[in-house]
Amino acid sequence: MTIIVHHLENSRSQRVLWMLEELDLPHEVRRYQRNKATLLAPPELRRVHPLGKSPVIEDTETGYTIAETGAIVEYLVEKADGRFGPPPHRADMLRYRFWLHYAEGSLMPPLFAKLVLSRVPLLGGPAQKKIQPMIDVHLDYVESELAQRPWFAGDQISAADVMMSFPLEAARSRAGLNASRPATIAWLDRIHARPAYVRALEKGGPYAYA
């Protein structure tokens, strides 16, 4: 059994590589580079999935092709018999479910908007200033939660932490996340120190947000 990961540089798919390393599931990485002018994914990815985006995995055991990071992460939790899945305590389980979806549903949209605006000449700068307060609300909320517990769902690392890694790394890179939010920075330092995270970086290649 092998899981094939169609991995695009500097993308959300780095989380999938990290998850696979944590779960010690056999996998093969097929790397793709962005178009240097547009920064978009190459057309080859459309041969794997109609949307032509990454991440996408192919499970050679089941024949399934799965897209969307959250769906992939949940699939891998099932594949690994629940490891990195929801904790048994109900309050922690509800936190797990919340952060698993919050990463892409709430935190990433304003971060992505700021990235797009940073590439718009003249008007992009003033527009970014209006978006930053929205991002700060999210970063303050994350900081308040991580000040109470070491991991997003409780005392143990889980798939919720994997999902939150990309937006918080992006926020550190381009949206004002710094030492003024020490609990969040400490969390980033913890995930970056994990051997599985380091191995995933080695397999995935360049990743600007780590």
- For residue 115, the domain's CATH number is 1.20.1050.10
The two tokens of residue 128 are 């970014």
Mean pLDDT for 151-173 is 97
Rg of the chain over all Cα atoms, to the nearest angstrom: 17
Contact call for residues 55 and 12 (beta carbons, < 8 A):
yes
Q: Is 133 domain-assigned?
A: yes
What is the sign of the dihedral through the CA atoms of 101, 81, 21 and 89? positive
State whether 187 and 200 are in the same domain: no
Mean pLDDT for 144-152 is 98
State whether 190 and 94 are in the same domain: yes
Give the pLDDT band (50/70/90) at residue 123.
low
pLDDT digits (tens, 9 = 90+) for 10-38: 888 999 999 999 999 999 999 998 888 88
> Residue 192 and residue 3: Cα distance in Å, rounded?
24
pLDDT digits (tens, 9 = 90+) for 179-204: 999 999 999 999 999 999 999 999 99
Beta bridge partners of 8: 32
Domains contained in the chain, number: 2
Strands (E), the chain: 3-8, 27-32, 56-59, 65-67
The pLDDT score that the predictor gives to residue 124 is 66
Long-range (24+ apart) CB contacts under 8 A made by 170-175 are: 170/108, 170/111, 170/115, 170/209, 171/107, 171/111, 171/135, 171/139, 172/209, 173/208, 173/209, 174/111, 174/114, 174/115, 174/118, 175/111, 175/114, 175/132, 175/135, 175/139
State whether 111 and 57 are in the same domain: no
Mean pLDDT for 2-14 is 91
State whether 94 and 187 are in the same domain: yes
State whether 105 and 187 are in the same domain: yes
Give the pLDDT band (50/70/90) at residue 114.
confident
Q: Is 209 domain-assigned?
A: no
Residues in the chain: 210
Q: Which domain holds residue 121?
A: 90-194
- For residue 18, the domain's CATH number is 3.40.30.10
The pLDDT score that the predictor gives to residue 48 is 93
State whether 23 and 74 are in the same domain: yes
Q: Say which residue, 80 or 205, is predicted with more confidence.
A: 80
Q: Is 210 domain-assigned?
A: no
The pLDDT score that the predictor gives to residue 55 is 94
State whether 185 and 119 are in the same domain: yes
Count the alpha carbons within 13 Å of 152 in the hemisphere toward its beta carbon: 27
The pLDDT score that the predictor gives to residue 1 is 67
The pLDDT score that the predictor gives to residue 206 is 78
State whether 46 and 79 are in the same domain: yes
State whether 80 and 94 are in the same domain: no
CA 99 from centre of chain: 11
Among 17-31, 36-50, 59-73, which stretch is predicted with the lowest mean pLDDT?
36-50
As a whole number, the mean pLDDT across the chain is 93
Q: Is the pLDDT of residue 122 over 70?
A: no
